[in-house]
């Protein structure tokens, strides 16, 4: 992915490969970036480009405070850290975005995933002088100025990830990355204060979780699928959940949540072949097996294969969690295994009514099972379910999980799959509320 540097009037000054500067930072006077070997400081007014020695490390190795103090995440004697001059001000921050303040304090977003000035914002934030821009959790760009927060493009997925920006005199330029590519917005401070004022989302509440419902979490919260990384930025530790379903080889381990809780893992069959799996085995609660054949022999064979792999790898046996699409095969697993029941709304129906009807029809088939997990729809299935319907679905799925007395987990499909929760963040507050209730119980 390339990056771009613009002047305040929108003229393109410089473009280069991302290797020369993931998330370049600016205080409105100097732009800091790197070329993978050294750091660079660029002055857009004079055109001066100055090299600053040091080996960049991590995907976000530069920071600059509002008074122009420069910070660099660099490698020294084999160890990475964030430096101001020769002083270490923060430990190594591999994947997160971080902000530097005039007094030398560094806010690591690997820790909190949101900038301190806006706990409701998304993961990316940049500032210069009196203005801070951040990613809106529900689309659009949030702009903090003079104690107020304004919204540029409310709900707009074309402005959901502000990559960089500049303040020059009375002009503000915001460069955002959206679903259709790069977007540049230029406006004055006088125009900024006419933008809609941010209205925080209402607090979401759900009923207490029953004792039998012990877990929840996402598919593809922790992922190394290239397409998901390119689109969504990779792993998402801020996504709530007691568990993380990890089905790609380099998604392990589950990253700690900002609240200090580290999710347990459910891994796929192929992850049993990885050398590092044994070291994380005590963090894994189940092995996920998939067979969407309408013949119950298919999932039974997948179960035999997974158990064989555990034996061959010398791993103590773990329960299996089945994924059989719209089929339910309660007799194909051992009593200690977890029967996965997929509840996805059928196309062209009222999604909530359809989910509830499915639940009523399925219950007699599974009520004798000791262990059940719901794999619930948390994606738009190609765009035919809108935000309002998806939010309503999350409440309905939780209701079913509470009603089924043998349901021990509610798993959301998914976090980073296209059309999932990262594309429809309106679902996230419901998931967060469910997670908090399950942890309380």
pLDDT, residue 19, reads 42
| Contact present, 406 and 372 (Cβ < 8 Å) | yes
- Give the HSE-up count for residue 404: Cα atoms under 13 Å, Cβ half-sphere: 33
Given this model, what pLDDT does residue 18 score? 41
Please give the DSSP secondary-structure letter assigned to residue 108: E
The pLDDT value given to residue 2:
45
Confirm if 30 and 67 have CB atoms less than 8 A apart: no
What sign does the CA torsion over 230, 236, 241, 242 have? positive
pLDDT of residue 6: 54
pLDDT (average), residues 187-196:
92
Q: Is the pLDDT of residue 51 over 70?
A: yes
User: Residue 296: what are its φ and ψ, rounded to 5°?
Assistant: -60, -20
Helix ranges restricted to H, 59-122: 109-112
Provide the pLDDT for residue 59.
64
**pLDDT tens digits, one per residue of 398-433:** 999 999 999 999 999 999 888 999 989 899 999 999
Compute the distance between CA of residue 124 and CA of residue 97 in angstroms, rounded to an integer: 6
Tell me if 417 sits within 8 A of 217, measured CB to CB: no
- Calculate mean pLDDT across residues 108-114: 43
pLDDT value of residue 117: 38
Quote helix, strand, coil % in the chain, to nearest 5.
20, 35, 45
Instruction: Cis check for the bond before 414: say yes or no (omega within 30 of 0).
Output: yes
**pLDDT confidence of residue 42:** 81
Give the list of residues 6+ apart from residue 365 with CB closer than 8 angstroms, or none: 328, 330
Mean pLDDT of 207-216: 97
CA 297 centroid distance within chain: 36
C-beta separation of 34 from 48 below 8 A:
no
Do the beta carbons of residue 215 and residue 438 sit within 8 Å?
A: yes
What is the pLDDT, as a whole number, of residue 379?
A: 96
- Residue 260 pLDDT: 84
The first and second tokens of residue 336, run together, are 């200690």
Contact in structure between 272 and 315 (CB atoms under 8 Å): yes
**pLDDT at position 172:** 85
Whole-number average pLDDT of the chain: 84
Note the pLDDT of residue 292: 94
pLDDT for the residue numbered 129: 63
pLDDT of residue 10: 55
DSSP summary character for residue 338 = B
Edge-first strand listing for the sheet containing 181-188: 161-168, 171-178, 181-188
How many CB atoms sit inside 10 A of residue 179's CB? Answer: 12
- pLDDT, residue 108, reads 58
Query: What are the boundaries of each domain within the chain?
Result: 1-112, 114-200, 215-440
**Lowest-confidence region among 42-46, 99-103, 206-210, 319-323:** 99-103
Answer yes or no: are the C-beta atoms of 247 and 268 closer than 8 Å. yes
* pLDDT-derived band at 15, boundaries 50, 70, 90: low
Q: What is the pLDDT of residue 115?
A: 40
CB atoms within 10 A of CB 133: 29
Residue range 354-412, pLDDT digits in tens: 999 999 999 999 999 999 999 999 999 988 999 999 999 999 999 999 999 999 999 99
Q: Class for domain 215-440, per CATH?
A: alpha beta
Looking at residue 112, its pLDDT comes to 35
**What pLDDT is recorded for position 201?**
64
Percent of the chain with pLDDT over 70: 83
Strand ranges inside 153-212, DSSP E: 161-168, 171-178, 181-188
* 364: enclosing H helix or E strand: helix 351-366
Q: Residue 190, exposed/middle/buried by CB under 10 A (0-12, 13-18, 19+)? A: exposed
pLDDT at 164: 54
pLDDT of 23 over the 90 cut: no
Does the pLDDT at position 96 exceed 60?
no
Band (pLDDT 50/70/90 cuts) for residue 1 is very low
pLDDT higher at 240 or 258? 240
Report the distance separating Cα 135 and Cα 151, nearest Å: 10
Residue 137: C-alpha distances to residues 120, 176, 229 (Å): 7, 14, 18
The 8-class DSSP code of residue 426 comes to G
Structure tokens at 171: 């002009």
More confident residue, 231 or 201: 231
Each residue of 119-160: pLDDT tens digit? Answer: 444 445 666 667 777 777 666 788 878 878 888 887 676 676
Query: Are 165 and 174 within 8 A, CB to CB?
Result: yes
pLDDT at 161: 66
Q: What is the pLDDT of residue 11?
A: 59
Query: What DSSP letter does each residue of 257-298 carry, written as one string?
Result: PTTS---EEEEEGGGGGSGGGGGGGGGEEEEEEE---SSHHH
């Amino acid at each position: 992915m390339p990056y771009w540097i613009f002047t305040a009037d929108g003229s393109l000054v410089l473009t280069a490969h991302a290797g020369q500067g993931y998330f370049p930072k600016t205080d409105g006077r100097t732009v800091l970036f790197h070329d993978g070997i050294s750091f660079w400081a660029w002055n857009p007014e004079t055109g001066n480009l100055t090299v600053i020695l040091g080996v960049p490390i991590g995907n976000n190795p530069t920071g600059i405070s509002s008074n122009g103090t420069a910070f660099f995440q660099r490698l020294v004697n084999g160890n990475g850290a964030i430096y101001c001059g020769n002083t270490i001000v923060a430990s190594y921050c591999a994947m997160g975005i971080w902000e530097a303040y005039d007094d030398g304090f560094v806010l690591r977003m690997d820790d909190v995933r949101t900038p301190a000035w806006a706990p409701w914002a998304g993961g990316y934030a940049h500032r210069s002088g009196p203005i801070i821009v951040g990613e809106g959790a529900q689309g659009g760009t949030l702009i903090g100025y003079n104690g107020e927060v304004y919204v540029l493009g409310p709900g707009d997925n074309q402005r959901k990830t502000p990559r960089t920006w500049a303040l020059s005199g009375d002009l503000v330029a915001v460069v955002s990355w959206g679903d259709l590519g790069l977007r540049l917005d230029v406006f004055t401070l006088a125009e900024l204060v006419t933008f809609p004022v941010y209205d925080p989302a209402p607090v979401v509440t759900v009923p207490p979780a029953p004792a039998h419902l012990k877990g929840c979490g996402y598919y593809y919260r922790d992922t190394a699928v290239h397409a998901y990384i390119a689109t969504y930025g990779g792993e998402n530790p801020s996504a709530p959940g007691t568990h993380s379903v990890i089905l790609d080889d380099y998604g392990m381990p589950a990253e700690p949540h900002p609240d200090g809780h580290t999710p347990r893992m459910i891994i796929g069959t192929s992850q049993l072949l990885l050398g590092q799996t044994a070291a994380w085995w005590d963090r894994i609660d189940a092995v996920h097996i998939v067979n969407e054949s309408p013949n119950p022999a298919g999932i039974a064979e997948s179960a035999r294969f997974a158990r064989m792999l555990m034996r061959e790898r010398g791993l103590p046996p773990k329960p299996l969690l089945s994924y059989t699409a719209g089929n339910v095969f309660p007799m194909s697993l051992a009593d200690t295994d977890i029967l996965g029941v997929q509840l996805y709304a059928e196309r062209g129906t009222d999604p909530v009514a359809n989910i509830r009807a499915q639940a009523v029809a399925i219950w007699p088939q599974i009520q004798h099972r000791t262990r059940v997990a719901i794999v619930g729809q948390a994606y738009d299935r190609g765009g035919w379910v809108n935000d309002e319907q998806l939010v309503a679905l999350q409440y309905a799925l939780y209701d079913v999980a509470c009603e089924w007395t043998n349901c021990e987990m509610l798993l959301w499909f998914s976090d980073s799959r296209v059309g999932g929760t990262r594309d429809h963040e309106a679902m996230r507050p419901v998931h967060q509320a469910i997670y908090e209730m399950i942890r309380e119980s």
